[in-house]
Structure 1
Amino acid sequence: MSALRKMMNLPPKEPKGGDDENTAAVGVPADTPAPGKGKPSPALGWAEEEESSGRSAARKAGRVAIWLVIGLAAFTGVRTWIFPVEPPAPVEQKDPQAEARKSHVPEAEAQQVAARFARSYMTWNARDPDSRARELGMDLAKGVDPKLGWNGAGLQMVAQTIPGPVTQVGGKRARVRVDVRVSVVTGSGKQQRNVASWRGLEVPVAQGQGRVVVTGAPAIVGMPAAAAYKAPDGREPDSALSSQTRDIVRDFFSSWAQGSEDQAAAPGADIAPIGPGLRLDALDSWVVDAGGGDRRTGTATVRWKVAGGQVQQTYQVWLAKVSASSASRWQVEAVTAKTA
């Protein structure tokens, strides 16, 4: 009996052919008498044994497992026909930073409002107190006193305001840093003079109904201190080319100050005019960086005469080799500030 028929508890398979008398037993010679006739038949070479209880239990368990699998497969298939499985809804990926930005104040508008407000706030004149209050009222939230703590005395002017970083504090509120250049008059008579200085100001703002407004009095804060910086090592100089091109560079700066830089620059160079009021006093130093090719860079330190004084400045200069017929020469192609 096969293992599968045993697990399924099916009866033994009937032998093929006619009745038992005409059917030879498997493994028995054809001339062996049938059982019950003649001499007793000799014992067969194998005999069917009784099945043990363990094997019977395993067989039954296996049969149960098979029917369970078949039933589960049938149930699952029918259920999916009647109730098709819907794909899971897509999971929406949330960006925490994008969510936080929803409560931010628009930075560009906040800087614009804070810079205008800082100019009005840091300007006062005891002879015209109403002008200050009127200008402050343009950007203040409704209901805030436009005097903002000023006692109505003194004189101070503002020359410049520079808006800086916007610190978001949530809830459509922020603080805007503004640097203000103020000028005050000190002394009297012949001792009277104007003293200018920078002031740091933090302006509280919020997103109001349709625009950014200042929510209260700003606070004067400190200015940033100087920080240390180490410039990278410069390139080795090309002494021969520096000496060869020194007069070319000096003539260019002189022509630049006179407004005729096109005559001294390389063909195709696009160098904007430096403007009136400057005159070259001296080319203090000129060094070409080591390298090769028809385009080279160098560093020029010049002294300008301007507004009755002198100011020394350092430039980075690009040179290009220009050829005509059988001759060639170096000319200035571009000029920028020197990056340390």
Structure 2
Amino acid sequence: MSTLRKMLNLPAKEPKGGEHKADAPGEDAPFETLPTPGAAPAEPSWSHGGWAEETESSGRSFARRAGRVAIWAVIGLAAFTGVRSWVFPAKPPAVSQQADPQSEARKHDVPTEEAQQVAARFARSYMTWSSQAPQLRARDLAMDLPKDADLKMGWDGQGAQAVAQTIPGKVTQTGGKHARVVVDVRVSSTVKVKKKDATVSRWQGLEVPVAQVGDRVLVTGQPALIGMPTAASYSPRSEADADSAMAGRTRQTVKDFLDSWAAGNEGQTAAPGSHIAPLGSGMSLDSLDNWAVDAGSGDKRVGTATVRWRLAGAQLQQTYRITLIRVSASSGARWQVQQVSADS
């Protein structure tokens, strides 16, 4: 037996073709003993081969089986989960939307524009009356009142009054599809002045209750007369420093423009590319009372003009902010009006 086989504890190498080989040089190989006829075959012997059968302990056997069961359980769970995700894909979590209290409250509001429209129309009908034609007022009121409502609405059937204009204003939502609308009404009536009839006009405030019923807005009851706004305090802005030299050089330019503007020929004196709407007929320039240019520099300057117009047999003084720009031409450069606006 070779040294390597001994180290590895391997069995001796079997001879080939029934030939016998000596273990070492000079030694004869032993003859094989033949079995005795009729005797039972001898059991093979493994003692000289280096292999021995070991009996596995019960603990090791249980651990091995348990490990196999765990591995197959993990494989089965992975397979089941994958197939389930194909058939029943996971749904993304629903995004929770927090309700906006103001948005929820607006669901119970009356539409603002429709409320103002109905209230303004009703105010014109309500504040118009004539003892000579009471049916006209009742007919107009019926447009915006519920069926079978009292069409007199508190009027005793006497006198005469007309409405020239209505301006809807603030809408106060009171909840449950109800609201109140403030309407400014311009009323006219005839009075005696020095034993002669004269027409006088005034503004009157009216608050109209409305409600949304289905797809309509109706007046739900009698309106109430209310007061009009009173004067409030206001501090005007401080005047800018004036450029008297610039005002002197451009005063005639501004006056020529105002004359053309009143006559409807503003395009002849305004700067190229400017868009100044005409004033309309019936006006003329009486005088340019004052023209002051703000201190500054450059090809664009702004000034304040105090103008006196003649219209309807009267004089009306007004104040404008006028923008000038320097326009260059082949003959030189000159200042022209680019923009006109009210003084703020």
3-state SS, counterpart of residue 328 of structure 1: strand
Instruction: Pick from 129, 133, 156 the counterpart of residue 124 of structure 1.
Output: 129
For structure 1, the residue ranges without an aligned partner over 5 or more in a row are 1-77
Structure 2 Cα separation of the partners of residues 124 and 266 of structure 1: 52
Q: Report deviation, 1:209.
A: 2.4
Q: Report deviation, 1:107.
A: 0.5
Deviations 1:119-159 (A, max 9, x none): 00000000100110110000012232111110000101111
Identify the residue that residue 206 of structure 1 maps to in structure 2: 211
Identify the residue that residue 263 of structure 1 maps to in structure 2: 268
Structure 2 Cα separation of the partners of residues 311 and 174 of structure 1: 41
3-state SS, counterpart of residue 153 of structure 1: coil
Q: Report deviation, 1:231.
A: 1.7
**Structure 1 segment 303-314 matched on structure 2, within 5 A:** 303-314=308-319
Q: Choose 261-270 or 301-310, whichever is displaced more.
A: 261-270
Is structure 2 residue 333 aligned with structure 1 residue 332? no
Q: Report deviation, 1:266.
A: 1.1
Structure 1 Cα separation of the partners of residues 314 and 150 of structure 2: 47
Identify the residue that residue 161 of structure 1 maps to in structure 2: 166
Is structure 2 residue 243 aligned with structure 1 residue 238? yes
Is structure 2 residue 300 aligned with structure 1 residue 298? no
RMSD of aligned Cα (Å): 2.3
Deviations 1:84-139 (A, max 9, x none): 99875432211111101100000001100000000000000001001101100000
TM-score calculated relative to the size of structure 2: 0.73
Identify the residue that residue 230 of structure 2 maps to in structure 1: 225
Structure 2 Cα separation of the partners of residues 110 and 307 of structure 1: 38
3-state SS, counterpart of residue 247 of structure 2: helix
Instruction: Pick from 118, 129, 147 the counterpart of residue 113 of structure 1.
Output: 118
3-state SS, counterpart of residue 214 of structure 2: coil
Structure 2 Cα separation of the partners of residues 196 and 247 of structure 1: 41
For structure 2, the residue ranges without an aligned partner over 5 or more in a row are 1-76
**Structure 1 segment 16-27 matched on structure 2, within 5 A:** none
Structure 2 Cα separation of the partners of residues 254 and 155 of structure 1: 44
**Structure 1 segment 139-178 matched on structure 2, within 5 A:** 139-178=144-183
Is structure 2 residue 73 aligned with structure 1 residue 97? no
Contact 1:144 1:215 in 2 (8 A): no
Instruction: Pick from 323, 328, 333 the counterpart of residue 318 of structure 1.
Output: 323
Matched pairs, number: 266
Tell me the percent identity: 58
Larger radius of gyration: 2
Contact 1:125 1:152 in 2 (8 A): yes
* Structure 1 residue ranges, 4+ long, deviating more than 3 angstroms after superposition: 81-89
Structure 2 Cα separation of the partners of residues 179 and 116 of structure 1: 12
Q: Report deviation, 1:235.
A: 1.5
Please tell me the residue identity of whatever aligns with 1:328: A
Structure 1 Cα separation of the partners of residues 92 and 271 of structure 2: 69
Structure 2 Cα separation of the partners of residues 283 and 326 of structure 1: 28
Is structure 2 residue 267 aligned with structure 1 residue 252? no
Structure 2 Cα separation of the partners of residues 86 and 281 of structure 1: 80
Is structure 2 residue 258 aligned with structure 1 residue 273? no
